[in-house]
Amino acid sequence: MFFWKRKKGSSSSPESGNRKSKELFLLLAGLALTLAAIFLARQRIIAAERDIHRKAAPLDIVVPSVSIPAGSVFTEKNLAKKSVPASGTSSRNVPAAEYELLVGARARGNLAAGEPILWTDVEEPFDPERFSQTIPAGRRAITFEATMSSSFAGLIRPGDSVDLLCEGDAGKGIRTWIQAITVISVDRHFSRAPSKEESREVSTVTVSVTPEEGRLLASAAREGRIHWFLRNPDEPSKARATFMSKTKQAEEKIEIWKAGVQELRIPFPSGESG
């Protein structure tokens, strides 16, 4: 009898150990899930706090310092800045950093002192006629949609000089260099550089070209590709040949234009001119 009880006790011992192991595993798993839930809840709380702080963060906008009647000119004397929560503003508000764009423009309607000024409250602050008068005789303005590449990450400015490489579809056909082209407008700014806030996102770039250069650029924009290269405006604009390997010369044609005049054609071994 004693032997049977002893054997029964020894046989139940592994089962007890397995049960304790399972209980310990479940306990650790529950603890891990609890910690994960606490971590996720904390992350959500932090994200919510950040969102609340962002919406509540003050943003400086332009407001009239005094009542401005319809048709009155905006000046530094009748404009002021006001801090409001960012959640209470939109893209229609005029940021305080851009108040200079309002100076010289006129109010479309009556504006009360302290009320936010919206872009829709302002008559056109730019003078399109004056812009057309800035284009030199014999040249034309052509506008391109800007990318991060063609705007040089938003760093391009009116008065900068660029070289443009035009190539055919899939890099085939004649490749044409048009050098030392002047940038006359970035977005709608032509008399001064855009503010720092606007410099990060450039939508359009306008350059001054001859009619022949404009024809080449329009063709490349429609059927091929245009590569933009920023240059120092003080660099001599005389075109220099770019020497390529014989293989490249046999496959491609290069034209270099400056001020509407084709300055250089590179000859090819087959006798065909570029």
Confidence of residue 66 (pLDDT cuts 50, 70, 90): very high
Q: How confident is the model at residue 112 (pLDDT cuts 50, 70, 90)?
A: very high
* pLDDT score at 52: 62
Tell which wins on pLDDT, 242 or 43: 43
- pLDDT tens figures, 171-217: 566 788 898 899 998 887 776 655 554 445 788 899 999 999 999 89
Look at 82 and 239; give whichever has higher pLDDT.
Answer: 82
Looking at CATH, the fold of the domain delimited by 58-121 is given as Type Iii Antifreeze Protein Isoform Hplc 12 (3.90.1210)
**DSSP notation for 4-64:** HHHHHHHHHHHHHHHHHHHHHHHHHHHHHHHHHHHHHHHHHHHHHHHHHHHHHSEEEEEEE
At 253 the pLDDT is: 55
The per-residue pLDDT for 210 is: 92
Tell me the average pLDDT of the chain. Answer: 75
Helices (H), 57-137: 128-133
Secondary element (H or E) of residue 229: strand 225-231
* Token pair in block for residue 81: 């800045």
Residue 73 DSSP symbol: B
The pLDDT assigned to 161 comes to 92
pLDDT for 117 beyond 70: yes
Instruction: Quote the CA–CA distance of 92 and 40 in Å, as a whole number.
Output: 37
Considering the entire predicted model, what is its pTM?
0.45
SS3 264: strand
Angle at 245 between CA 243 and CA 248, to 5 degrees: 100
Q: What angle do CA 199, 204, 205 make, to 5 degrees?
A: 90
Domain ranges of the chain: 58-121, 128-265
pLDDT tens digits for range 131-171: 788 788 889 999 999 888 888 888 888 889 999 998 877 65
Report pLDDT for 246: 37
> What does the pLDDT read at residue 143?
92
Could you tell me if 180 and 163 are in contact, meaning their C-beta atoms sit under 8 angstroms apart?
yes
CA atoms within 13 A on the CB side of 241: 10
The pair of three-digit structure tokens given for residue 191, joined into one six-digit string: 């008399």
